[in-house]
Structure 1
Amino acid sequence: MRSRRLDYSESTRSALVESAVELFTKRGYAGTSLDEIAKRARVTKGALYHHFSGKQALFEAAFDTVESQVFDRLEKIMNGPASPWERALAGLRGFLQSCLDPAYQRIAIHEAPVVMGWERWREAEERCSFGLVRTGIQSLIEVGEVDDVPVDVTARLLFGALSSAAIEIASSPEPKKVSAQVEEVLVRLLVGFRRVPPAEHGKAS
């Protein structure tokens, strides 16, 4: 059986991370203090240091939480009952929808490259999302929806396009408008890879 001490420890850590996500989203990394995070979580600063070595460690936990929420949402879509093509389009739209979320914009896109360093941020992003992109492309090839393109290269290029799209959306004064434009462009890009059935070739000629 789980001990009360373990349950309390986990609930304390969760409260701190939740507090950090909210405050980092509202005020950014530089504008948020550990005192404020502890106060909002209703724990002592000593309890905070029991779980985290400092502000950056707490930020990285907040980053992991935000990224995990996006990953879980996209993984559910990509493993759903729809066809691979429908899942690919739904996954694209799901990712673009996530890019409109204030916490994802502020923490994962704006703050993380600065706080964590570009290389560590990029590695974390790839661990979270690249595998889903690669799996999606592989599935489309296996069912004959798209031509037999190099999977890794195609996934890398598409992942780069999605990362750039996220920055464009998060940096725009009209994020919803930019998100719609990005969706249109990326859907056209995917359609360009789609294999045309022989019957449609005949119609085109």
Structure 2
Amino acid sequence: MPPASLRQRFSASTKRQLVEVATREFAEHGYRGTSLDAVVTGAEVTKGALYHHFSGKQALFEAVFTRVEHDATRRIRDDMAGVEDPWEKALTGLRAFLAVVQEPTYQRVVIQDGPAILGYERFREQEERTSFALVHDVVVTVLEASTDELDDAMRQTFSQIFFGAISAAGESVTTASDPAAAVRRIEAAIGFILTGLRALSDQGIALTDPG
């Protein structure tokens, strides 16, 4: 019998391979059009190996969803890294997000199938750990550049509002007949809002907490 560490590496490699193949299958065929037989064939493993790692198709989909979300969030953060100005950082993050939502894998797995397959509560839990956490970080950075008079509850409120707007924007890109035009409109609209907030800040008009 191979050493435990070798077995663990082999097991981890098998799991990664299953998720990689499943990502391609779910992206191309959607959840309902994907079979576990196709996944194990593509991964060159047995169905028993799949069930060793995942309880079933939905659990495998959730692993794919998590991977796609984490990859997207990492790429957006990478694009923002090194941008010092908080307002420009927010715009850079917006542009990176709008690039992500035009990708077929993200559209199919996260936007189209995610809510229906995971269910609303589970979908939101996943979003809060990835996309919302990213939006919250950016919004807090922008708000701190504008005022120090807002408490955590107001920062959370701003984050929820912007996250809702950005999520809706992502969905609208997916369904648009001209995605490129939709992206330009969204970038202009949210850019206008950020420019307005920055102008108020530059004029010394601070956001205040209503109490």
TM-score w.r.t. the length of structure 2 is 0.87
User: Please, which moves more after superposition, 159-168 or 176-185?
Assistant: 176-185
Equivalent residues, number = 198
Give 2:41's aligned residue.
Answer: 39
Structure 1 residue aligned with 2:95: 93
- CA deviation vs aligned residue, 1:64-90 (integer Å, no higher than 9, x gap): 000000111122344434321111110
8 A Cα contact 2:27 2:105, kept in partner: yes
Q: 1:53 to 1:196 in 2, by over 3 A?
A: closer
> Corresponding residue for 2:208?
none
Query: Match of 1:197?
Result: 202
> Against the structure 1 CA distance between its residues 168 and 198, is the aligned structure 2 distance closer, same or farther, given a 3 Å change threshold?
closer
| 8 Å CA contact 2:87, 2:194 repeated in 1 | no
Aligned residue for 1:202?
none
Percent identity reads 42
Q: Is residue 2:181 matched to residue 1:177?
A: yes
Give the root-mean-square deviation of aligned CA atoms: 2.0
Question: How far, CA to CA, are the matches of 2:202 and 2:178 in structure 1?
Answer: 39
Cα distance between partner residues in 2 of 1:79 and 1:119:
31
Asked if 2 retains the 8 angstrom alpha-carbon contact of 1:78 and 1:136, the reply is no
Q: How far has the Cα of 1:12 moved from its partner?
A: 0.5
Q: What's the counterpart of residue 109 of structure 1?
A: 111
User: CA-to-partner distance for each residue in 1:83-129, whole Å, 9 max, x for gaps?
Assistant: 21111110011111110111100000000111111221122112212
The CA distance in 2 between the partners of 1:2 and 1:77, in whole Å, is: 39
The counterpart of 1:129, out of the listed 128, 131, 138, is 131
SS of aligned partner of 1:143 = helix
Q: Which runs of 5+ in 2 are unaligned?
A: 205-211
Q: 1:143 to 1:2 in 2, by over 3 A?
A: farther
Q: 1:110 to 1:53 in 2, by over 3 A?
A: same
* SS class of match (1:178): helix
SS at match of 1:29: coil
Query: Following TM superposition, by how much is the alpha carbon of 1:40 offset from its aligned partner in structure 2, in angstroms?
Result: 0.7
Query: Of 46, 54, 57, which aligns to 2:56?
Result: 54
Q: 1:71 maps to what in 2?
A: 73
Q: Following the alignment from structure 2 to structure 1, what is the Cα–Cα distance between the partners of residues 149 and 93?
A: 21
Give distance in 2, aligned partners of 1:184 and 1:74. 19
Deviates more, 1:36-45 or 1:79-88: 79-88
**C-alpha distance in structure 2 between counterparts of 1:198 and 1:31, whole Å:** 55
